[in-house]
């Protein structure tokens, strides 16, 4: 079984790339065998090919979309920055390596690299002052596009006294409360549908995506939105992946899954291919499911899952009652992913709220 690099920390229930809902920190190596006999060996640093685990979390981070250099964005703005105590100006996202770049007071170039610490100072529209540190930088060069892991910690000023601050807190944590890192991405995926924002300022919007939630998970599975595979941009694959991970069948932001649910993934570019004998669950595009057989979680009937998109057809395109042989057809219809699953009951009922953190 091929394996693709998932990088370093991430959060999980069962295999690596998901979040835990309570409990102890997970081991670095987790061995799983699926019910059909498929052997899955999952490391927190490596996600096994194809049979992956999904979850409902969207991002879990309060700054889902922001801009640099004093521009107001979703009620928040950064006002100043220091890189290793050196004032940093003209801060911007560096698309070459997923870092932040800028310049010092003499216009010499500066860039956030492993070993550096970046201090940011900003404020909300209500005047609340916030500081953030970006540290423990890890540069990832495997896969279709380079990116970085950042540990992001924040604190807010608790009074008018400039010396009185709250405690530093990690911006990203797994369900067990353990700090996890984030991936800085260009773009903003807006609530409630979590579609990529394309309006004014979209080209300079950025998001810190917490590891283990949909945005970052899809990057680590090999679908960086700025990546290119076989001359094909992965931006649409990344968006479709976020729908697939959260079982967002109608593309309206509503999830129909829970953390730790296994899915078998195949994509249109050959990055991942099916290896299980499970029935096809769904075919996926940027706006949700192109077809759906049985939802991966039995809590939702097919009718319930498609309340807002009842016209989505069955995946049994040839009407032969074989729910395993339609992948090629749906890829030919423009699907970016086809998932197989073995429907299972929720471990925790009622399900998590639709925003998923």
Domain coordinates in residue numbering, the chain: 76-210
Number of residues in the chain: 357
Element (H, E) at 240: helix 235-245
Give the tokens for residue 111.
Answer: 């860039």
Exposure of 164 in the CB half-sphere (CA atoms within 13 A): 5
- By CB atoms closer than 10 A (0-12, 13-18, 19+), residue 219 is buried
Q: Is the pLDDT of residue 335 over 90?
A: yes
220-239: average pLDDT: 96
Q: Is the pLDDT of residue 93 over 50?
A: yes
Answer with the residue of higher pLDDT: 226 or 261.
226
**Residues 306-325: tens digit of each pLDDT:** 999 999 999 999 899 999 99
Q: Are 207 and 226 in contact (CB under 8 A)?
A: no
Overall pTM surpassing 0.85 (yes/no): no
Any idea which residue has 């939802």 for tokens? Answer: 295
CA separation for the pair 154, 159 (Å, rounded)? 16
pLDDT of 235 reads 97
Residue ranges with strand state E in 191-260: 195-196, 206-210, 228-229, 232-233
pLDDT tier, 55 (very low <50, low <70, confident <90, very high otherwise): low
Any idea which residue has 């003499």 for tokens? Answer: 106
pLDDT of 191 reads 77
Quick one: residue 232, left, alpha or beta (phi over 0 = left, psi -120 to 50 = alpha)?
beta
pLDDT of 141 reads 95
pLDDT tier, 15 (very low <50, low <70, confident <90, very high otherwise): very low
**Residues 26-43: tens digit of each pLDDT:** 233 233 333 344 433 222
Average model confidence (pLDDT) across the chain: 79
pLDDT of 354 reads 59
Task: Return the number of other C-beta atoms located less than 10 Å from residue 275's C-beta.
Answer: 21
Q: Is the pLDDT of residue 22 over 60?
A: no
**Residues 144-163: tens digit of each pLDDT:** 999 999 999 989 887 778 78
What DSSP assignment string belongs to 86-150?
EEEEEEEEETTTTEEEEE-TT--EEE--TT--EEEEEEETT--EEEEEEEEEEEE--SSS-EEEE
């Amino acid at each position: 079984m091929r394996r693709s690099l998932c990088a370093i920390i991430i959060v999980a229930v069962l295999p690596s790339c998901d979040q835990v809902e309570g409990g102890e920190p997970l081991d670095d190596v987790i061995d799983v065998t699926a019910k059909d006999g498929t052997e899955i060996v999952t490391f927190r640093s490596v996600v096994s090919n194809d049979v992956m685990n999904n979850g409902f979390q969207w991002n879990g981070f309060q700054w889902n979309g922001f801009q640099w250099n004093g521009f107001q964005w979703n009620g928040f703005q950064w006002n100043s920055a220091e890189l290793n105590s050196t004032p940093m100006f003209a801060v911007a996202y560096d698309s070459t390596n997923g870092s932040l770049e800028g310049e010092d007071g003499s216009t010499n170039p500066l860039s956030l690299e492993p070993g550096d610490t970046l201090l940011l100072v900003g404020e909300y529209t209500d005047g609340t002052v916030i500081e953030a540190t970006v540290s423990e930088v890890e540069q990832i060069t495997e896969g279709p596009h380079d990116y970085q892991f950042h540990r992001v910690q924040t604190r807010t000023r608790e009074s008018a006294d400039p010396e009185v601050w709250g405690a530093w807190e990690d911006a990203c944590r797994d369900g067990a409360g353990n700090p996890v890192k984030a991936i800085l991405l260009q773009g903003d995926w807006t609530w409630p549908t979590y579609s990529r924002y394309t309006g004014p300022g979209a080209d300079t919007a950025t998001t810190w995506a917490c590891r283990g939630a949909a945005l970052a998970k899809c990057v680590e599975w090999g679908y960086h939105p700025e990546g290119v595979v076989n001359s094909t941009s992965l931006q649409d694959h990344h968006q479709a992946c976020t729908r697939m991970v959260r079982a967002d069948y109608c593309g309206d932001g509503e999830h129909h899954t829970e953390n730790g649910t296994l899915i078998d993934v195949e994509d249109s570019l050959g990055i991942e291919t099916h290896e299980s004998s499970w029935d096809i669950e769904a075919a996926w595009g940027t706006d949700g499911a192109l077809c759906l057989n049985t939802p991966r979680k039995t809590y939702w009937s097919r009718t319930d899952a498609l309340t807002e998109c009842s016209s989505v057809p069955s995946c049994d395109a040839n009407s032969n009652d074989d729910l395993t042989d339609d992948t090629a057809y749906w890829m030919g219809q423009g699907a970016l992913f086809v998932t197989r699953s073995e429907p299972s009951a929720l471990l925790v009922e009622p399900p998590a709220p639709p925003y998923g953190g």
